[in-house]
Amino acid sequence: MSEYINKSHNVSVLTYHLVFPAKYRRSVFDARVDEELKNICTEIGNRYDIRFLEIGRDKNHVHFLIQSVTKFSVTDLVKRIKGITAQEIFQRCPEVKKQL
């Protein structure tokens, strides 16, 4: 589960549950896209000090349980995660863009 994040001036345990549907609720998430999504989220977590506690998916949406520090607002988190994951998925799995 979540752990405390210790920084030089604060300690935080902010946990967010975010749900991102695919465009038009199309069924685009398969096993290959799921694996790529997990790899991308690992890269995002290392770059922006975000912990992905759980990543779950269905055919047309993805659930994230995220822990972050207080320097990022929820809006910033959503923008970063949606922007980077969409761009990388389209590059790594071009068939997804064709389905949308």
Distance CA 77, CA 45 (A): 11
pLDDT for residue 11: 80
What is the DSSP track for 43-78? HHHHHHT-EEEEEEE-SSEEEEEEEE-TTS-HHHHH
Taking only the tens place, the pLDDT of each residue in 45-81 is 999 888 999 999 888 899 999 998 888 889 999 999 9
The first and second tokens of residue 91, run together, are: 């590059």
Q: Where are the domains of the chain?
A: 5-99
Radius of gyration of the chain (CA): 14
pLDDT for residue 7: 77
Distance of CA 26 to the CA centre of its chain: 18
Homologous superfamily of 5-99 in CATH? Answer: Transposase IS200-like (3.30.70.1290)
Half-sphere exposure of 100 (CA within 13 A, CB side): 15
